[in-house]
Amino acid sequence: MGLAVRTTDVVVLGAGLIGLAVAAEAAARGASVLLVGETRFGEASPAGAGMLAPGAESDELETDVVRRFAVAGRDLYPSFLRALHDETGIAVPFDRNGILELFADGEPEHRPEGSEWIDARALRALEPNLAEYSGAVMHPNDGSVDNVVLLAAMQRRIELRRSITRVGAGVRSVNATTVRPRVILEDGDVLEGGALVVATGAWAAQLEGLPRRLPVRPVRGQLLMLEGALAHHVIYGGGGYLVPRRSPDAPHSFERTIIGATMEEVGFDSHTTPEGLAHLRNVALRITPESGSAPLVSHWAGLRPVTPDRLPILGPDPRLPQLIYACGHGRNGILLAPVTGEAIGALTAGATTSHDLSPFAIERFAEAL
For the cut 90, the answer to whether the pLDDT of residue 55 exceeds it is no
**Pairing verdict, β 182-185 and 190-198:** antiparallel
CATH of the domain at 272: 3.30.9.10
Residue 211 lies in a domain: yes
**pTM here?**
0.94
Residue 78 lies in a domain: no
Shared domain check, 131 and 38 = no
Shared domain check, 191 and 223 = no
Shared domain check, 222 and 129 = yes
CB 51 within 8 A of CB 139: no
CATH of the domain at 364: 3.50.50.60
Instruction: Quote the pLDDT of residue 1.
Output: 42
Dihedral in degrees, nearest 10, Cα atoms 343, 74, 365, 368: -60
Shared domain check, 233 and 129 = yes
* Of 306, 328, 352, the domain-final residue: 306
* For range 68-87, the mean pLDDT: 96
* Of 263, 280, 306, the domain-final residue: 306
CB 330 within 8 A of CB 18: no
* Of 306, 327, 347, the domain-final residue: 306
Q: d(Cα 213, Cα 204) in Å, to the nearest integer?
A: 9
CA 221 from centre of chain: 13
Q: d(Cα 73, Cα 69) in Å, to the nearest integer?
A: 6
Residue 79 lies in a domain: no
Give how many domains the chain has, as a whole number. 2
CB 234 within 8 A of CB 95: yes
**Structural domain for 158, as ranges:** 5-46+150-216+309-368
Taking alpha carbons only, the member of 49, 85, 42, 97 closest to residue 245 is 49
Residues 196-206 have pLDDT tens digits of: 999 999 999 99
Instruction: Quote the pLDDT of residue 173.
Output: 95
For residue 354, the tally of other CB atoms under 10 A from its CB is: 8
Say what percent of the chain tops pLDDT 90: 85
Taking alpha carbons only, the member of 167, 196, 164 closest to residue 180 is 196
Shared domain check, 9 and 105 = no
Residues 289-315 have pLDDT tens digits of: 999 999 999 999 999 999 999 999 999
Shared domain check, 315 and 297 = no
Shared domain check, 243 and 129 = yes
Q: d(Cα 369, Cα 317) in Å, to the nearest integer?
A: 10
Shared domain check, 323 and 194 = yes
Residue 160 lies in a domain: yes
Residue 302 lies in a domain: yes
Peptide bond into 49 cis (omega under 30): no
Instruction: Quote the pLDDT of residue 254.
Output: 63
The alpha-helical segments, DSSP class H, found in 263-349 are 274-287, 333-348
Would residue 204 be called left, alpha or beta, if left means φ above 0 and alpha means ψ between -120 and 50 degrees? Answer: alpha
* For range 209-217, the mean pLDDT: 95
CB 137 within 8 A of CB 116: yes
Residue 12 lies in a domain: yes
Q: Read off the amino acid at residue 174.
A: V
Instruction: Quote the pLDDT of residue 251.
Output: 54
Residue 28 lies in a domain: yes
Between 88 and 60, where is the model more confident? Answer: 88
User: Strand order of the sheet with strand 234-237?
Assistant: 116-119, 135-139, 99-103, 234-237, 240-247, 250-260, 217-227, 296-306
Shared domain check, 252 and 232 = yes
Instruction: Quote the pLDDT of residue 2.
Output: 47
Shared domain check, 222 and 342 = no
Instruction: Quote the pLDDT of residue 3.
Output: 64
CA 58 from centre of chain: 16
Shared domain check, 23 and 109 = no
Say what percent of the chain tops pLDDT 70: 95
Shared domain check, 225 and 123 = yes
The alpha-helical segments, DSSP class H, found in 253-331 are 274-287
Residue 76 lies in a domain: no
